Amino acid sequence: MKRFSEKYIITKDMQWEVLGGGVSRKFLGYDNQIMMVRVKFEKGALGSPHQHFHTQATFCVSGKFEFEIDGVKQIVEAGDGVYIEPNLLHSAVCLEEGELIDTFSPVREDFLSGGEVSYFGDKS
């Protein structure tokens, strides 16, 4: 398995990977230590409650989302950021179509394996 991305990731040349439930993604760069992913949400798409041992930092590029982290809800809009400590239960609902940039450390091996992402379900 390739352990790092290309040096330049030109997203206009990439297809969106459809994850289901109104969610798609593009990998923006990764190695063993870090991964950055562009995630597109249709209105009503849900990232159901889940947790992982990775640290996650998210930047809201566009749209509006309701995040819930460790039982605390917050509306996040374009220009806002989110920090999620390892192993905290978290979720998001897309209130207005938009895009997020998710960054994980270490790399999300489960994303690279090509397996199904279980926490993106049917849209509400």
For residue 28, the domain's CATH number is 2.60.120.10
Q: What domain range is 52 assigned to?
A: 17-109
In a domain, 31, yes or no: yes
pLDDT, position 2: 66
In a domain, 83, yes or no: yes
* 26 φ/ψ angles, rounded to the nearest 5 degrees: -140, 135
Q: How many domains does the chain have?
A: 1
In a domain, 2, yes or no: no
In a domain, 62, yes or no: yes
The residue-averaged pLDDT of 102-124 equals 74
Which is it for strands 81-84 and 55-69: parallel, antiparallel or unpaired?
Answer: antiparallel
Q: What is the pLDDT of residues 12-29, one digit of tens each?
A: 999 999 999 999 999 999
In a domain, 37, yes or no: yes
Q: Give the Cα separation of 104 and 29 in Å (integer).
A: 11
Q: What is the pLDDT of residues 60-73, one digit of tens each?
A: 999 999 999 999 99
Q: Is the pLDDT of residue 107 over 80?
A: yes
In a domain, 10, yes or no: no
The pLDDT confidence band at residue 118, using thresholds 50, 70 and 90, is low
